[in-house]
Amino acid sequence: MSVGILIITHSNIGSSLYDAVLSVIGTSPLPTRLLPVSLDCDPEKMIDKARQLIAQLDEGEGVLVLTDMYGSTPSNIACKLANGRVNVVAGINLPMLVRVMNYPDLDLQQLANKAVSGGHEGVIPCQHKQE
């Protein structure tokens, strides 16, 4: 058994990030589902769909929900799912998702912590060097 991953983002952001991760690591070591959210969606229907996906993903270890911008519709949907078996982390980026996929044996809380650290550590200012 392992933690399931649900990615809830605006439109195709989640699928683009997930495709990029798969190109880096080959295959997903964790069961993963994507829920794209359109601008004209019905949030209540999306919450129902997300709950269905969580039920499919939860193999007994819980589900980590990764979402994009905090306070946006995808994030608001995700936050309504949080409970003892579902952890939510907003601000998904490629380093975060790579980090999560590299630690498939961690429990739900540890994996959520890795997601946050991967997201933070993956944001680095790149400075021009004078020659």
Domain ranges of the chain: 4-119
Q: How many CB atoms lie within 10 A of CB 8?
A: 32
* pLDDT category of residue 1 using cuts at 50, 70 and 90: confident
pLDDT: is 127 or 102 the higher one? 102
* Fold adopted by 4-119: Rossmann fold (3.40.50)
Q: 101 vs 33, 40, 56, 78, CA distance in Å? A: 13, 31, 19, 20
What is the pTM assigned to this prediction?
0.95
For the cut 90, the answer to whether the pLDDT of residue 107 exceeds it is yes
